Chains A and B, each alone.
Chain A
Amino acid sequence: MTICNACRYCEGFCAVFPAMELRRIFSEQDLKYMANLCHNCRDCYYACQYAPPHEFMLNVPRVLGQLRQETYPEVSWPKAMNGLFQNNGRLVSLVTALSITMVLLLTLLFRGHDVLFAAHTGPGAFYRVIPYAAMVLPFSVLAVLVLVCLWKGFANLWQTIGGKPEELTNRSAHLQAIWDVLRLKYLDGGGHGCNYPDDRFSMVRRYFHHAVFYGFMLCLASTTAAFFYDHLLDRLAPYPFWSWPVVLGTLGGISLLVGTGGMFWLSRQMDREPATRETLGMDTAFTVLLFLTSLTGLLLLCLRNTPLMGTLLAVHAGCVLGFFITMPYSKFIHGIYRYAALVKNAIEQA
């Protein structure tokens, strides 16, 4: 960072370098703040005169990626879980596989194979495969737990990067940070995009990430709409194609498929030199899990009138379960923590 601060050629790319210029010496807090502020666009790596094989061997995206990876176990809650960030890719895959198997086995055990492998149609068809209570109760409990863990993680990170609790009430900083998130401002590298998969500027990574983010949001909206249908309108799933839950879910699912597929493709194509090797497993597992969740969801929609419906529902529910269980300990948290860094940045630069 002292090299960067004496050079400053990269100050136009993102928020990390202007944040660095506010400082002369860098505390642990500062470094972790900048690590979480970095969006890994790699523009600074390819622009860097001091990148390897130069003898200074400066590799900003990799170093910040490693630092970022170090902050995750530090701030995650509860503390007992902080071992989960080692071999995270394997862990997330394993949890997902177990979730799918468990849902399948439980369904088979309690409902029998004639239910699992039969076609079900009409209102309440899903609940004939997995009963209402079995579907709603675990997910509700899990959702509360996940929210608590995420909030605790956010608060810990806020402290780790040197934020004060009272600063969190700064509304304009939140608005600025939300606006930065919605645009993925810092994947635009000062207006020209990231350097993926090589040294040429391209918006492709930003657009794929947009597809993931907004796809996820649409799916969240779909689930919320389904909740209203079920509990307020007394309409039982599955819903017709032209209904809010299905339209939102379909759009979201397709968007997620494209986005995660694109991110995965980029990660296969990309130059490995600026990559943080320690996080590749975590990144890949999360991307693949999102991809599988949306794929099984869309397949379920297409094949819901066939005997495959039961199995697909169970597999999809297993994927979603896996996603929720691992949420506070998977790549998902990068969004939460980066948001915290963006809020701090908005306060600092105001």
Chain B
Amino acid sequence: MNRDGQSAIVLSKRFDVIVVGGGNAALCAAMTAREAGASVLLLESAPFAFRGGNSRHTRNLRYLHKSANSHLTGPYLEDEFWDDLMHVTKGKSDKYLARLTIRESNNLGAWMIGHGCKFQPSMRGTLHLSRTNAFFLGGGKALMNSYYATAERLGVAILYEAEVIDITIRDGRFASASFELQGIRQTVEARAVIIASGGFQANISWLKECWGDAADNFIIRGTPYDKGRMLRVLLDRGAKPVGDPRQCHAVAIDARAPKFDGGIVTRLDCVSFGIVVNNRAERFYDEGEDFWPRRYAIWGRLVARQPDQIAYSIIDAKSVDLFMPSVFPPIKADSITDMAHKLELDPTALEATVRTFNSAAGHGNFDAGKLDDCATKGLTPPKTHWARPLDTPPFYGYPLRPGITFTYLGLTVNERAQVIMQDDNPSPNIFAAGEIMAGNILGQGYIAGFGMTIGTVFGRIAGKEAVRHVIETYKRS
């Protein structure tokens, strides 16, 4: 059934549980509900080849574990996990749900393996995360393939290219969902619904409501199918929002990346080794404030505030081998003037900027491996580490644009993953999991592999609670 996106499901049938979405949270919810005995229909808006939402771009997941195992090098305990989370969110988090997520993530790896996940044995070079984060063998798309195979085997009915357009809610209760499949609109009823359809970061017109026309120059790092349709429908139907509607997780990526779905390879790690200028050839922020992995997430917003939402990172020959290679080759030039021409910047302005920078730079000892004391003197904005002058041709330039990873606005949920309505009462049979409710826990910031943790934990909770509700309705009838 349906490996080619086709299906013989009889849609007059009523399901116990409908899952809207097709990423990690949706699959965890669908598998859990199906294993508990419910009939489950999963509606994925993307075609087969692009199934899996943003999970197809992920690589690892962070979970609580008391000791090392085949894919993690040491223990990761509750206190440390809690501190890591509070550090990035600066306390902007529903503490109760955050604590629940961390505790429920205990030994998640075993459950995942039981559902087809394959982890990569801990090995060299996995981004200093090998103790806290378990890496999927082959990455998120391979994980999604395994989950889909398991869900199919369990008997979850799956439809691709089935975009849910609307849902009917009566007195705070879900009644039916209508979706479009191959241009035909159909309505299907169910006793419970789990919304796991992601954020709205691929919806440019929605982004424009917050960012204006600047959003036209944003690049969406992940799936083009996260249009936030369900989020809008539910908010319109009386669900209570959570998270800052104007915020999104934005990193600086290569401006030559495709508009959508460029994923991991568009990442650039060169910023802290050179200077970054806007299209007036002016520097605008301390490039060496901290290690790049701790800073890339603020650079998305920094670039978004520059004219035309573009910036250029320029390094010289001394630094070209200090960072991970990226997919687009750098723009190479033998002089700063030449570089200005190639980047279409004003040569005089760029030369002046580089001259000023060079005369302030070069104090202290450069060391790429630590926060060194190589800083500029008397320069605004300063460069506080790795500030070597740009003096060794050839020079290399990379254009930067804001790359949107996800949005923070979501649906408020309780510990049973039930969606909270405007009157602060939970809906008995509308559940949410994954990116669409992550804003409850991640009010701001991000830590690697935590989106997948939220999706897995709340996917399982939603699946379990949806079935609990279904059983209660059977008992009553």
Contact = CB atoms under 8 A, between A and B. Distances in A.
A55 B324 CA distance: 23
A44 interface: yes
Given A49-B56, A49-B263, A50-B263, A6 B326 contact: yes
Contacts of B123: 11-12
Contacts of A46: 138, 141-142, 145
B118 interface: yes
A201 B56 CA distance: 17
Contacts of A12: 120-121, 123, 135, 137-138
Interface string B308-325: 000000000000010011
B57 interface: yes
B210 interface: no
Given A2-B327, A6-B267, A49-B263, A13 B137 contact: yes
B364 interface: no
Interface string B344-365: 0000000000000000000000
B138 A13 contact: yes
Interface stretch (A28-36, A76-84, A147-155, A190-198): A190-198
B149 A9 contact: no
A10 B49 contact: no
A247 B439 CA distance: 69
Contact of A21 (B125, B264, B321, B326): B125
A54 interface: yes
How big is the A interface, by class? 20 to 34
A192 B137 contact: yes
A85 B34 CA distance: 52
B3 interface: yes
Contacts of B142: 9, 43, 46-47
| Chain B, interface SS category | loop
A43 B118 CA distance: 12
Nearest to A54: B261
A47 B136 CA distance: 10
Interface in A155-212: 189-192, 198-201
Nearest to A58: B265
Given A49-B141, A53-B49, A54-B261, A6 B324 contact: yes
How big is the B interface, by class? 20 to 34
B307 interface: no
Considering residues A47, A189, A198, A199, which has the most beta carbons from chain B within 10 angstroms of its beta carbon?
A47
B59 interface: yes
A305 interface: no
A53 B146 CA distance: 20
A44 B149 contact: no
A146 interface: no
A43 B258 contact: no
A7 interface: yes
Given A54-B261, A199-B145, A200-B149, A6 B56 contact: no
B139 interface: yes
Interface string A24-62: 100000000000000000011011111111111000000
Given A7-B264, A11-B120, A190-B118, A47 B325 contact: no
Interface in B317-342: 321, 324-327, 329
A53 B47 CA distance: 11
Contact of B265 (A7, A10, A53, A198): A7
A281 B468 CA distance: 56
Given A6-B267, A190-B137, A49 B261 contact: yes
B19 to A, nearest CB: 21
B139 A49 contact: yes
A5 interface: yes
Contacts of B141: 46-49
Contact of B138 (A3, A44, A50, A54): A44
Given A47-B141, A49-B141, A199-B149, A6 B265 contact: yes
Nearest to A190: B137
Contacts of A191: 118, 121, 137
Interface string B253-264: 000001001011
Contact of A9 (B49, B59, B118, B125): B59
28 contacts: A2-B325, A6-B264, A6-B267, A6-B324, A6-B327, A9-B59, A9-B139, A9-B140, A9-B142, A11-B120, A12-B121, A12-B138, A21-B125, A44-B138, A46-B145, A48-B141, A49-B56, A49-B57, A49-B139, A49-B264, A50-B265, A51-B49, A52-B49, A55-B261, A190-B120, A191-B118, A191-B121, A192-B137
The 8 lowest CB-CB distance pairs between A and B, nearest first, are A47-B138, A9-B139, A12-B120, A47-B142, A6-B265, A6-B327, A199-B145, A12-B137
